[in-house]
Amino acid sequence: MFDGAQYAQWSRKIFEQMRAGGVEAVDVTVAYHENFRSTVNLLMEWNRLFRENADLIALAQNIDEMRAINASGRTAIFLALQNPSPIEAEIGLVEMLFRLGIRIMQLSYNNQSLLCSGWTEEHDSGLTLMGREVVNEMNRLGMVIDMSHAGERSTLDVIDYSARPVVISHANPYSWHPTRRNVSDEVLRRLARTGGLVGLSLYPRHMPAGSGTSLRGFCEMAARLADMIGAGRIGIGSDLCQDRPASSLHWMREGRWRFPNPTAESTDFPSPVSWFSSNLDFPNIAEGLRQIGFAEQEIAGIMGGNWVRFLSSAMQPDDRTLPRSVAVAAGQGLVDKLARVNG
């Protein structure tokens, strides 16, 4: 089991549930609206979590490391950003964050970034001039480009522009639940055609009946999507925000880019669906896919194999341009056998 997006209130309990649920790897969100320095603080907090829970989890920077961590009976943690705010306006910070362990970065989160638009903006800037620079740099380093939370034109621009396949780590088809936070068929088709991957979301607001959405409905959606783009292009990005307080939701929504509205109704995370509320529940999804008629091999792919296959190539640095310092940090063994994935 590989989960492409979680932002739980991290604790030993959660890590124990990862083990109990048979979760091999999780892409964890480190930052939403933080700048570089605050992100470094959060990475140091992750270092503490790795130290204190070294029997349960460990940092993974590539798939080989993930496999070694799994072989020792632990869950591999990949570090991800849901916003490019940590690179501020400095292209050089992409490599600095890569060296610090970040392997996946969204190019926007809901609203406009310096790189592209989020889905809540009225007009979509598409991929900006700085955005192209950052895509080039992420392609070079092997930092995975994640277009969750982006606008449609921005997503299509990046799929077209990037030399490497991109991922939409946690979203569902717009045709299943029509919010612009979800993804149009055109995007899904072009994503799949270029070797990309979509991680299906279990966050109630991304599903048609919210917290009341049925497992069967979810799996039927997955079956339709598999017919359209192939089961090999589908993974899971649960968007699990287990144990998070409402203040986390406000940070995700507002950061500090606007003042909180003192008269707004207080909001909180929605209740989870009955069949998925923690890392213990992934077997429910596998069983649901089985009952809807997916083959065992397809289920293994959706539950993790597809993510692993995608990342095996997506995270390999481009050895034609990679500075030696990074090549060494990424593991010289890997670098030696590399060929550029696309073009």
Beta carbon nearer to a second copy, 55 or 88: 88
Written as six digits, the tokens of 54 are: 């070294």
Supply the minimum distance, in Å, between the C-beta of residue 86 and a second copy: 10
Q: E-assigned strands of 108-209?
A: 144-146, 167-168, 197-200
Residues 6+ apart with CB under 8 A from 289: 219, 222, 298, 299, 302, 303
Supply the minimum distance, in Å, between the C-beta of residue 96 and a second copy: 12
What's the start-to-end Cα distance of the chain, in Å?
A: 31
Q: Alpha-carbon distance 39 to 168, whole Å?
A: 22
Supply the minimum distance, in Å, between the C-beta of residue 33 and a second copy: 6
Supply the minimum distance, in Å, between the C-beta of residue 106 and a second copy: 14
Beta carbon nearer to a second copy, 112 or 172: 112
Single out the residue of 288, 105, 308, 104 nearest to residue 202, CA to CA: 288
What residues make contact with a second copy under the rule CB under 8 A?
Answer: 33, 35, 85, 88-92, 111-115, 117, 120-126, 128-131, 133, 153, 255-259
Sign of CA dihedral 156, 222, 20, 242: positive
Single out the residue of 144, 188, 208, 114 nearest to residue 5, CA to CA: 144
Beta carbon nearer to a second copy, 193 or 256: 256
Beta carbon nearer to a second copy, 180 or 309: 180
Beta carbon nearer to a second copy, 143 or 240: 143
Written as six digits, the tokens of 98 are: 């890569």
Supply the minimum distance, in Å, between the C-beta of residue 124 and a second copy: 7
Beta carbon nearer to a second copy, 257 or 332: 257
DSSP at 273: B
Supply the minimum distance, in Å, between the C-beta of residue 90 and a second copy: 4
